[in-house]
Structure 1
Amino acid sequence: RIAELSAQNPTMVFTSIAHLINVKLLRECHEKMDGDKAVGIDGVTKEEYGKNLEENLVDLVARMKKKAYKPKPARRVEIPKDNGKTRPLSIYCYEDKLVQEALRRVLEAVYELMFYCELLT
């Protein structure tokens, strides 16, 4: 839907995208998520989150609509590099990864078309 709106009116200003994140979109993100990734500070895996998926997603959407959703702090680890140094890596909780992916998809639908239109002009 957002891609259609953006295509119909490339200069349209989107002031809020939170209402575009719904259970259906989050379910799609869950299905595409890699279950082998490291867990965040809450220790919840994709499999564990999926045991009560519908309930979890309905609750997440409700919290987002009430502006009560707060991402948890990221778990920080140091990854060794070939030169003997390390680099920091943030590992997010599973639910936060779902929200990030949903936001990425929505923003991509808006900006991909804008960049494409700019290339044509």
Structure 2
Amino acid sequence: MSSDYWEAPNRSVNNRRVITPSPVDFASVEYIVSYECIADAWKKVRSNKGKPGVDHISIERFPKWVRPKWKSIQRQLLDGSYKPTPVLRVEIPKESGGMRKLGIPCVLDRVIMQSIAKQLGDLFNPTFSQSSYGYMPKRSVQQAARQAQ
């Protein structure tokens, strides 16, 4: 890839980082469902300690539940036949009154989504401007404020 230039709203020119193509195809489904990626995704999902989805499989029960099923799930992901489980619809009260509608995916779907999100982030984040701080891993509001000074 080459370096791209774009004009910021304040007419300054920002330089995007130059990235070297990786020998690993991070966006490939094979890589996304690899043991390494799924294990990393599981660690992240487990650390979030979310509630079970419509299948009632909790974070605690998930490892034992998924182990005998994983090869079949992986095959479905690779051949495109995997169908996510419907989300559990819940309402929680808002501070300002009223209710907020949430959809809670099952743990398996959260692990798969986390693996996809991480790999796409690893693939595209290096192409974003070094001046970009919003929704960027390992970047904070404090760093953005220091950069702006």
Shorter-normalised TM range: 0.7 to 0.9
Aligned to 2:12: none
Equivalent pairs counted in the alignment come to: 110
> Residue 97 of structure 2: SS of its match in structure 1?
coil
Structure 2 stretches lacking a partner, 5+ long? 1-17, 133-149
Deviation of 1:106 after TM superposition, in Å, equals 0.7
Q: 1:101 aligns with which of 83, 93, 114?
A: 114
CA contact (8 A) 2:89 2:102 kept: yes
Q: Matched residues in 2 for 1:74 and 1:113: separation?
A: 32
Question: How do 1:27-106 and structure 2 match up within 5 A?
Answer: 27-34=39-46, 36-106=49-119
For 1:33, the aligned partner's letter is: V
Aligned to 1:7: 19
Q: 1:17 aligns with which of 15, 28, 31?
A: 28
Q: Matched residues in 1 for 2:129 and 2:68: separation?
A: 38
Q: In terms of Rg, which structure is larger?
A: 2
Runs of at least 4 residues off by over 6 Å: none
Aligned to 2:10: none
Give the TM-score normalised by structure 1. Answer: 0.76
CA contact (8 A) 2:87 2:106 kept: yes
Q: Matched residues in 2 for 1:53 and 1:68: separation?
A: 18
Q: Matched residues in 2 for 1:70 and 1:53: separation?
A: 16
Two-structure CA RMSD over aligned residues (Å): 2.6
Give the TM-score normalised by structure 2. Answer: 0.63
Deviation of 1:54 after TM superposition, in Å, equals 4.0
For 2:69, the aligned partner's letter is: N
Structure 1 stretches lacking a partner, 5+ long? 1-5
